[in-house]
Structure 1
Amino acid sequence: MPGLTNSVTEPIRRATFGDQLRRHAARIPDRPAIIALHSPLHERRVLTYRELNEQANRLANSLAAQGVGLGDVVATMGRNTPESVVAFWAAAKLGAAV
């Protein structure tokens, strides 16, 4: 592209979103990944990176068993909750989109 220069010749490290979550879960498993407040009671829910990764793996395995894979689109319906974040990561682990 005109005007863009980059003298770095090292190869670009490729990592998927799923790879990133797996790395975080291995490196900082007990740190909060999601902190959610639920109205009207203002309950606080916390998912650690380990919990997020484990839940996303379970859902990804379930989706894969139903034939979901690379390039597919997974539709979700509902409020913006920790479960919707889990669904995003599960789809990302399969190469699908939400």
Structure 2
Amino acid sequence: MLKLTPEFLRKKREALGYTLERMAEELHLPMRTYLKYERGERAIPDDMPQRFAISLKKVNDLVDIMREQLRESRWSDTEIRVFSKKLSESLRAEDQNKK
């Protein structure tokens, strides 16, 4: 069975641009519990890879839906990439403002 490490959790969260609170929410965990996993203060449960996969699938599904809608509106691939980047930056800024 795949075992996740605290470092993996932190790197994935940072790559997604999520705050600790947002990642805990996505994984349906109390924030303090998630923080203990990420710090290595608590053993990461065996079901964490499945939780991660479900959370990341939701994000990917949303991105796919948005890309399809943008293509239907006849945006070029470059316009879609620029829009996606700006949206991502905006979401990260929003998460930072919630701190």
Superposition TM-score, scaled by structure 1 size: 0.32
Whichever structure has more strand as a proportion of its residues is 1
Whichever structure has more helix as a proportion of its residues is 2
- Larger RCO: 1 or 2 (CA < 8 Å, sep 6+): 2
Superposition TM-score, scaled by structure 2 size: 0.32
